[in-house]
């Protein structure tokens, strides 16, 4: 869901932080549950919550969760889900410089937490089935 700078509020910031925290916890849970199963297949499983930037409403702030599967130190597959991305936009296109008429916008994950967790579990179980 896209938010314009005029829609940035304390409630939105709290929602972003709550989603980030919940998904970071989900990644930890999935690592504990599935890492031993993937190790039996000689696959390494890792996941993390990643954040760039200091404040959710500043340009170039981005938060993501990622899970990756590797075999013998070589990455086989990586699945990344963007939680929040804040950037400068001009006529709907991201721009790196402040252009007159450009605006700061943010995009928040559209899916519910349950849908994201289900997507991650499905991704992992598909890899286990191979």
pLDDT of residue 102: 87
**Is 67 strand, coil or helix?**
strand
Q: What is the DSSP string of 91-111?
A: TTEEESS--TT-EEEEEE--S
pLDDT of residue 95: 84
The token pair that represents 80 in the structure block:
């990344």
pLDDT of residue 125: 87
Q: Strands of 1-130 (E only): list them.
A: 2-4, 44-52, 61-71, 74-90, 93-95, 103-108
User: Residue 122 contacts by C-beta under 8 Å, 6 or more apart in sequence?
Assistant: none
Is the pLDDT higher at 41 or at 107? 107
Domain ranges, ordered by start, for the chain: 2-129
Encode pLDDT of 46-59 as tens digits: 999 999 998 999 98
pLDDT of residue 96: 80
The token pair that represents 82 in the structure block:
């963007």
Encode pLDDT of 8-62 as tens digits: 999 999 999 999 999 999 999 999 999 888 888 888 889 999 999 989 999 889 9
The token pair that represents 111 in the structure block:
């899916």
């Amino acid at each position: 869901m896209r938010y314009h700078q005029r829609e940035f509020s304390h409630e939105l910031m709290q929602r972003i932080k709550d989603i980030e925290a919940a998904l970071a916890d989900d990644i930890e849970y999935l690592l504990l549950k599935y890492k031993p199963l993937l190790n039996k297949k000689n696959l390494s499983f890792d996941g993390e919550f990643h954040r760039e930037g200091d404040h959710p409403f500043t340009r170039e702030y981005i938060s993501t969760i990622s899970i990756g599967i590797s075999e013998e130190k070589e990455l086989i597959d990586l699945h990344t889900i963007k939680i929040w991305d804040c950037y400068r936009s001009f006529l709907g296109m991201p721009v790196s410089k402040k252009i007159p008429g450009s605006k700061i916008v943010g995009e928040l994950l559209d899916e519910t937490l349950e849908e994201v967790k289900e997507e991650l579990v499905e991704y992992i179980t598909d890899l286990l089935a191979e």
